[in-house]
Every structure is written in structure tokens, then in C-alpha cells.
Amino acid sequence: MRYKILITGPALTSEATDLAARRGAALVPHPHYVSSEELAKVAAAEQPDAIIVRQGKIDDRVMAASANIKAIAKHGVGYDNIDVDAADRRGIPVFVARGANSQSVAELALALMFAVAREIPRLDARIKSGHWDKATTKGVQLLGRSLGVIGFGEIGRILAGLVQPLQMQVRVFDPYMPADISIEAAERVGSLDEVLATSDVISLHCPLTPQTRNMIGAEQIARMRRHCILINTARGGLIDETALFEALRDGVIAGAGLDSFAEEPARPDLPLLTLPNVVVTPHAGASTQAAREAMGVIAVNHVMDVLEGKTIDLRAMVNKKQLRVA
């Protein structure tokens, strides 16, 4: 093989692996959550030409470990575990798999709404332990409720469409969305406080940046309705987990459905995991076969286009402005 691509996580799907082989690249998976220091050692030993990022932090140490690295692609869309500034300094383009997992993530957000509203995991566990709680269970009906979507990219737009049969009133807050963009089946609101105060369900769909880190803290939670359900299928760092734990424990809001955590894998002793009104999944929004296949193929194509000197997809390039490619 002419090229070598390091996969920081489990192996890609057979479709993506076959594509890489056809384009002359060998894939080197490293299937565990490991430190940047260990990833740097792997990069130093393998000397890859590109990296496809599934797990772990890709910092300057990792990039410096192989002089051959010409491109980095995220197996997904959230790139907060890639040091983009370091990539800029080294002239390495960073790509995301635009649109590959949007439908899958939006569907999980909807599933978590139902799971929390109807207490599905708790009732499942109760039946399996010999109980029958039909007379005492009080679920929440979502029909006609209001949904606040924070961050209105492709995932948020798909979710807004998915809830239309429920006649949910969708309110959107996204300060980075151009004012002249039309929104179907949703109402745009002008502030975070407004969407927090007027929503029965709030779903987060924004990237983790210095500006959005801990954007949902004790002050923001206090503005939510007492029966509000908070859904996060984006990044764990968007929420102050201590504040959320205390609010859920004390009944400040009704429940939460969480697919991501500030530290991953989530620690078994994380206080949030002890609460009956919290439903959790292991950052599995993109973990459908369709999404995995799409993400793997897109990521392989991104790095191979760079390595082969072909036209690259500027829409998926995170750091095009700094590299003056656009």
C-alpha cells in the first residue's frame, strides 16, 4: 500500500476499508480510549500519512510524532477533540463528515425524549425484577408540547421535522444562523433565556467551543420549566454536570436524556448515573450501521483526496480560513 491511515478507535466498516484499499491505503486501527501521549507513541511507530479520528485527543504531540501527516478527518462532525490550532500551524487540513450521522443523531434525540417522558428504562427494569407498576406509573404525553432546539444545523432541522406528527411547537435559538434564513415548522427566538423559559423539552445541537462550554449551568437550569426535559446528543461539556445533577435531584427540572458526557467514557461513579429521572446512552447518536458506513466512507475520501492531490470538499474543511484555501 502506498499510504497508511491511523484510525484512533475501532476499525472502520468493511465498505470504508475496501474503499481505502482501492485507493492504495492501509488502515491501522487503535481500538481503545487512550491518552494523547499513547496516541503519539502509536503515530511515531506507524508514521501514518493521515489520521481518521474516532476516539482520543489529537493534539500537537500526536501530529508532531509523524512527519508524514497530511490530513486529519473526524469520523463524525464534532471536532473538539482535535487541536485545530496545532493543525493550522502545521498546515494540516481538518475535515468533518458533514451530514453522515445527522439522521441517526436526530432519531436518538427523539428516542431519548420518549424514554425520559415515559420512563421506559425504569419500567423495563422494574418488570424484569418482578414488578408491575401499571397503576402507579405517570408518564408524560409529548403531543402539543413545546420543543426548544439550541443550535439549528442539520441535526436540529431534522429533529424539528421528526416531531411534526406530535404537533410540537418548535422554538429555535442559534446566534450563528444568518437572520435571512427561512425556518420551516419552527419559530426563531432571540435569546437563550427565552427558549429556556418557554420550552417543555430542550434539545442541544451545538458544537463545544470556549463560548458554549457549560452554557447550561445552574443559572440557566433555574430558568427552565419545572416539568422540562433536557436532551443532549451533542457534547457533554455543554452542560455543567454538577449543576444538572443537583437540579434533577431536587426536582428543579423533570428529567434528562444524555448521550454525551464531559468525560468519556463516563465514570461509573458519576452522580448523574444514580438518578432515576436520567436516561443515558454511551455517545451512541451516530452508532447506526447506516451512519457508520457513511462516516467511514466520507472520512476516507477526505484524507485520500488530500494525499492524492485531488479537489477537496471545502464545505467539510474546518480550518479553511486559516489555511487560506477558500
Hey, is 133 helix, strand or coil? Answer: coil
Question: 250 burial class (0-12, 13-18, 19+ CB within 10 angstroms)?
Answer: exposed
Cβ distance 208 to 78 under 8 Å? yes
Whole-number Å distance between alpha carbons of 60 and 236: 23
Question: Which residue among the candidates 15, 38, 194, 264 is catalytic per the annotation?
Answer: 264
Radius of gyration over every alpha carbon of the chain, rounded to an integer in angstroms: 21
Helices and strands (H and E) in the chain: how many: 12, 12
Whole-number Å distance between alpha carbons of 130 and 86: 55
Question: Which residue among the candidates 75, 205, 283, 302 is catalytic per the annotation?
Answer: 283
**Unique residue bearing C-alpha cell 488530500:** 306
Q: Is 32 a catalytic residue?
A: no
The type of residue at 169 is Q
Q: Is 126 a catalytic residue?
A: no
Q: Is 89 a catalytic residue?
A: no
Whole-number Å distance between alpha carbons of 97 and 74: 7
Question: Which residue among the candidates 54, 75, 235, 292 is catalytic per the annotation?
Answer: 235
Sheet strands side by side (includes 94-95): 25-29, 3-8, 50-53, 71-74, 94-95
Residues catalogued as catalytic: 235, 264, 283
